[in-house]
Amino acid sequence: MLRSTLFRHSRGLAPRICQRNNSTVALRDLETRWTTLSSSEQNAIAKQLEEAQKGDWKVLSTEDKKAAYYIAFGPHGPRQPITQPGHGSKVLGGVAAVLGVSSVLFWTIRVNGQETPITTTREWEEATNEYLRKQKSDPISGISSEGYKGKGYVTH
């Protein structure tokens, strides 16, 4: 009687063990293979894991748990990172290129531009001060006021 009970128990257990081993082999290194699998294979693995998770979690192997976590929360699909390795150096190179081109453009414009206007010379600024004194511009506190000691419009 004991032997028949053990035999019956071992017969029911053997297909489950084989099924677990087959699924563990299919789930090994799932993180690296997930993107190469077709969508039907991905769906089949996801359904298989979903069914396995409905049972006791103590029965699940570590590979099953890792695969379930990866399928639920892994960096694939909409959770795939936007930036890839080397993205920072590309951005830095692009910024440096734009700054270099703009610096060359600025220098070229400055070298080939017109001379400085005559209104920025010291003589012009002194003439402006004399003109404003003759016109009695700002007689209360400005250049035409009594006792004014400022430089007026002379900046050079």
- The string of pLDDT tens digits covering residues 58-87 is 888 888 898 989 988 888 877 888 888 999
**Position of tokens 């399928």?**
71
Q: Give the number of other CB atoms < 10 A from CB of residue 67.
A: 27
Spell out, as residue ranges, where the chain has pLDDT lower than 50. Answer: 14-21
Instruction: Examine residue 106 and state whether it is found in any structural domain, yes or no.
Output: no
Q: How far apart are alpha carbons 33 and 27 in whole angstroms?
A: 9
Question: What's the confidence (pLDDT) of residue 17?
Answer: 44
Instruction: Examine residue 87 and state whether it is found in any structural domain, yes or no.
Output: no
Domain count for the chain = 1
Q: How far apart are alpha carbons 140 and 123 in whole angstroms?
A: 25
Domain range enclosing 66: 2-79
Instruction: Examine residue 91 and state whether it is found in any structural domain, yes or no.
Output: no
